[in-house]
Amino acid sequence: MLCRRNNVANRLSEIFFERNLHPRSVSDTAEMSRICKYIKRCLEPGIIKQKVGSILSIAALCTMSKKIDGETLDELYLLDCRSLSRKRKPLLKQIYAIIAPYLDTESVDSSLQIIACTIDLLRNQESVTLNFSRQRYVEHCLKAKNLTPDLVDSIMMQRQYIDSFTNISPGLYITTIHQAKGKEFDCVFVVDIDDVTNEPNLMYVSNSRMKERLYPIKIQYSGVPYSR
């Protein structure tokens, strides 16, 4: 499913996840950049207590839904150790149990160990589906010796280069038209075709991604008419 706008693609993905269907992603550029930023924050001087939001955000970004126990990235990033300790949701309670022994520790290695243990926890949950590409990026960083911010950037560039040449595996993809450039799919649904009709370049990209069938979708409001 191709959309012109990111917010439409994100909302469609959420709808599918709410129905226990797990769409795949073609490009993780924005998510990878956020992971990169949060890992760098975990490398900064400071105790673990100050890095709780970054650790939770990294873990959430490794999942397909980009949520933990239904809490969004923005909500997770704002959590500190006190607010996390008060959570009664099962996964968040288990993550707090992983973090709690290290709250006053300043070791960077401890931050990276907590991230690894949290991802292992998520991997063993039936209700959680991990995003392979983002997960591999984090694991690659965690395995690196003497990890530095520059090395975090370098690893991200390597992962994106590798992913750009990875074949599309079978499944449902919801993405923007820009992110679908250079890719081909058996069947393509172009969401809200009226939104791209007046832009020849977008029309060409969206209409040339399919191998077999193209389904242009026109969105039409079908609610109750306004009346006084």
Provide the 3-class DSSP secondary structure of residue 102.
helix
Which tens digits make up the pLDDT trace of 26-61? 656 778 889 999 999 999 999 999 999 999 999 999
Q: Supply the pLDDT for residue 227.
A: 47
Locate 129 and state its tokens. Answer: 């589906």
Q: Supply the pLDDT for residue 127.
A: 85
User: With contact defined as beta carbons under 8 Å apart, do 2 and 175 qualify?
Assistant: yes
Q: Using 50, 70 and 90 to split pLDDT, how confident is the model at 65?
A: confident
Contacts 24+ apart (CB under 8 A), 150-154: 152/36, 152/39, 152/40, 152/43, 153/36
Mean of pLDDT over the chain? 86
Residue that has been written with the tokens 């992983």 in this structure: 98
pLDDT above 90: residue 71: yes
129 against 92, higher pLDDT: 92
User: With contact defined as beta carbons under 8 Å apart, do 187 and 210 qualify?
Assistant: yes
Overall average pLDDT of the 104-109 stretch? 92
The residues spanned by each domain of the chain are 1-26+168-228, 27-164
Closest to 81 in 3D by CA, of 105, 65, 60, 61: 105
pLDDT above 70: residue 166: no
Q: Supply the pLDDT for residue 165.
A: 55
pLDDT above 90: residue 16: no
Overall average pLDDT of the 3-19 stretch? 81
pTM, two decimal places? 0.69
Q: Using 50, 70 and 90 to split pLDDT, how confident is the model at 94?
A: very high
Overall average pLDDT of the 170-175 stretch? 83
> What is the domain class of 1-26+168-228 according to CATH?
alpha beta
pLDDT above 90: residue 18: no
Overall average pLDDT of the 197-217 stretch? 88
